[in-house]
Amino acid sequence: MRSGRPNALSHVFFVFGILVLSQFSGSAQTASPLRAFMDTLALQQRFNGLVLVVKNNTVLLERAYGKSDFRTGQDIRATTLFNLGSVSEEFTALAILRLYDEGKLDLDSPLVQHLPELSYNEITLRHLLSHTSGLPDYEQLFSIYSPATPLPSNTDLLTMLSKRAPSLRFRPGSRTQYSSTNFSLLALVVARVAGQPFEAYLSGSIFAPAGMAQARVWAPTGTEEQTDRALGFRSYILKAAELDPTEGQTQLVGGRNVLVSLNDLSKWHQAFTGTTWVKSATRALATAPVQLTTGEAATTGLGLPAANPGTQRLDQEGTQGSFRVLIRRDLATGTAVYLLTNTRTPGLYNLQDALWQAVTTGEMKTPPIAISAVVAEKLLIGDVASAVGAYKTAKRTNPKGYLFRESELNALGYELLDLNRIGDAIEIFKLNAQEYPRSFNVYDSLGEAYARKGEKNSAIIYYRKSLAIYPDNVNARQMLQKLVE
């Protein structure tokens, strides 16, 4: 099964050691080395996107790097819009909490009070906000009940849930399980309670008060012309970057499709740490752990991950197609790192850690090199045995100098499949299975490669292994049905 992609071909030639910058403390001193650090990474094509670094609510770095469209070479500008993916939920949650502040809704009111078309009487708004509703994810629902629906919308989702009433995965409030359905329904609740379209409410009551001039909700129609919006790209090592085919594939909003620019980031941070949108006590609900009916504390608040009670640090991650967003905030100090990319930049977590360490401790280290660059250097000359050997040597001799992740090898394997180097792909997927034997995804990928090669029995074996680890793997189940026919 396909996952994140590694970076571009030139990354192969920038394998270098750990760079340690001198310690620094003051804001003015910090900004210059931070910029030099990020400028270097961008020149080496190790980062493509937006970065905002804030210390004690003072902006230290606010920069755009790379291309918004690799086909035309269009640079990312301060006004270029980036898709926040599931981080869009933060704004939907703030809209609900704002309406709660205004006395227009009760967080414990039944969902059916606002959406009477539905039959889920036990689900409340609090359950939706905390991902404790038990509702299945809409991607799974559309694949089962309406696979041919082009650009599904929130209304399509509501109609499907009303007609089909799929069973809940668990009793509401008993556990936490992420589902994109939750915030899509909350967007409908906002529209009905506010008496205006969801997009209009966020623009007038959330974005405008914060001064986020470019921010908007985007419900793609499939016919709009490209404006100043970054496109999602799959960047590769072995071949040229390609437009992500999932770009603009859904009109669903609430849990997706909020767009922001570099100009919006610092305004967003200021509004979040202040009281622009909701009262301080209400905002605290967003990051306070929700109590489950089991008596345990959930890992989520009302719309955001639960903050660490010891440090008040809050980590968020969002993806949509090739867009990836990482945000780390210290709610007590106003220190934060925002990273947005339209290329699924590998090593993004390590980059976030490096920037966070620089701001909080004064020491900056270059994040490790993606191991995919080392492996790909051998694959470029067609020698898969040397590629596997290079991986093992790097892991044995310098494990901290490289980024070892399942997704790195998985992405390289799919590049090889796309280039019809099926035998080489199988060897890379085999290596991945050896390294990550408890991952359902590595066996799913092996199954696909063997199916492409025409070795049906081997494909069946690996798809079954994938399902044994993760019985809900829909792709493996569908492929097995085809293979055993």
pLDDT for the residue 20: 34
pLDDT band of residue 372 (cuts 50, 70, 90) is confident
**Residue spans of alpha helices (H) in 44-86:** none
Say yes or no to pLDDT of 169 above 60. Answer: yes
SS3 258: strand
pLDDT for the residue 3: 59
Q: What percent of the chain is predicted at pLDDT more than 90?
A: 71
Q: How far apart are CA 318 and CA 326, in angstroms?
A: 7
Pair of tokens at residue 396: 């044995």
Q: Report the 10 Å Cβ neighbour count for 468.
A: 12
Highest mean pLDDT among 14-28, 215-229, 234-248, 458-472: 458-472
pLDDT for the residue 165: 95
Q: Report the 10 Å Cβ neighbour count for 334.
A: 17
| Chain segment 450-483, per-residue pLDDT in tens | 999 999 999 999 999 999 999 999 999 999 999 9
Q: How far apart are CA 416 and CA 226, in angstroms?
A: 31
| Chain segment 272-293, per-residue pLDDT in tens | 988 788 888 898 899 999 999 9
Pair of tokens at residue 109: 């009111």
Name the DSSP class of 291.
B
Spell 143-162 as b/e; 16+ CB within 10 A means b. eeeeeeeeebebebbbebbe
pLDDT for the residue 27: 44
Q: Which of 22, 25, 86, 261 is catalytic?
A: 86
Across 252-258, average pLDDT: 96
Mean of all residue pLDDT scores within the chain: 89
Across 417-445, average pLDDT: 95
| Chain segment 303-329, per-residue pLDDT in tens | 999 987 778 899 999 999 999 999 999
Active site residue 180: no
Across 97-125, average pLDDT: 97
First to last CA, the chain: 21
Q: What is the pTM of this model?
A: 0.80
Say yes or no to pLDDT of 16 above 70. Answer: no
Pair of tokens at residue 90: 């933060």
Say yes or no to pLDDT of 147 above 70. Answer: yes
Say yes or no to pLDDT of 12 above 70. Answer: no
Q: Report the 10 Å Cβ neighbour count for 207.
A: 23
**Greatest C-alpha distance within the chain:** 67
pLDDT for the residue 14: 36
Say yes or no to pLDDT of 15 above 60. Answer: no
Pair of tokens at residue 333: 């100090």
Across 400-416, average pLDDT: 89
pLDDT for the residue 369: 79
Pair of tokens at residue 141: 């629902």
Phi, psi dihedral angles at 412 (to 5 degrees) = -65, -40
pLDDT for the residue 31: 56
